[in-house]
Amino acid sequence: MSDSGTLADIGEFGLIDRITGSLPDHPMVILGPGDDAAIIKTDTASVVISTDVMVEGRHFRKDWSTPIDIGRKAAAASLADVAAMGAVPTGVVVAFAAPADLPTAWAVSCTAGLRAEIEGAGAALIGGDVTSADAIMITVTALGDLQGRAPVLRSGAQAGDTIAIAGRIGWAAAGLAVLSRGFRSPKKLVDAHRCPAPPYEAGPAAAKGGATAMIDVSDGLIADARHIAKASNVVLAIDSALIDVPEEISAAASAFNLDPREWLLTGGDDHALLVTIKKGNPAPAGFVVIGVVEPAGDKGAGVSVDGHFVTIAGGHRHFGA
Piece of 9-17, 110-118, 185-193, 252-260 that binds its own copies (CB under 8 A): 9-17
* C-alpha span between 80 and 169 (Å, rounded): 14
In the bound state with its own copies, the residue whose beta carbon lies nearer, of 158 and 240, is 158
Candidates 1, 4, 8, 244: give the one binding its own copies (CB under 8 A). 8
List the Cα angle 253/163/142 in 5-degree steps.
Answer: 85
In the bound state with its own copies, the residue whose beta carbon lies nearer, of 149 and 188, is 149
In the bound state with its own copies, the residue whose beta carbon lies nearer, of 75 and 93, is 93
Nearest distance, CB of residue 157 and its own copies, angstroms: 13
Please, are residues 105 and 61 in contact by the beta-carbon 8 Å criterion? no
Nearest distance, CB of residue 255 and its own copies, angstroms: 31
Candidates 1, 4, 11, 254: give the one binding its own copies (CB under 8 A). 11
30-59: contacts with its own copies (CB under 8 A): 30-31, 34-43, 45-55, 57-59
In the bound state with its own copies, the residue whose beta carbon lies nearer, of 260 and 284, is 284
In the bound state with its own copies, the residue whose beta carbon lies nearer, of 138 and 265, is 138
Interaction mask 105-144, its own copies, x per CB under 8 A = ---------------------xxxxxxxxxx-x-x-xxxx
By CB under 8 A, residue 7 contacts its own copies: yes
Please, are residues 104 and 15 in contact by the beta-carbon 8 Å criterion? yes
In the bound state with its own copies, the residue whose beta carbon lies nearer, of 65 and 78, is 78
Residue from 83, 71, 51, 88 nearest 199 by CA:
83
β-pairing, 308-310 vs 302-305, is antiparallel
Amino acid, res. 163? I
The length of the chain in residues reads 321
207-246: contacts with its own copies (CB under 8 A): 214-216, 231
* C-alpha span between 118 and 152 (Å, rounded): 22
By CB under 8 A, residue 157 contacts its own copies: no
Amino acid, res. 187? K
By CB under 8 A, the count of residues binding its own copies is 76
By CB under 8 A, residue 172 contacts its own copies: no
Nearest distance, CB of residue 248 and its own copies, angstroms: 28
Candidates 115, 154, 168, 193: give the one binding its own copies (CB under 8 A). 154
Residue from 243, 289, 248, 283 nearest 264 by CA:
243
Residue from 224, 240, 219, 217 nearest 302 by CA:
224
β-pairing, 234-238 vs 272-277, is unpaired
β-pairing, 302-305 vs 234-238, is parallel
Please, are residues 312 and 305 in contact by the beta-carbon 8 Å criterion? no
Residue from 170, 135, 163 nearest 60 by CA:
135
71-110: contacts with its own copies (CB under 8 A): 81-82, 84-85, 87, 91, 93-95, 97, 100
Please, are residues 89 and 146 in contact by the beta-carbon 8 Å criterion? no
In the bound state with its own copies, the residue whose beta carbon lies nearer, of 31 and 245, is 31
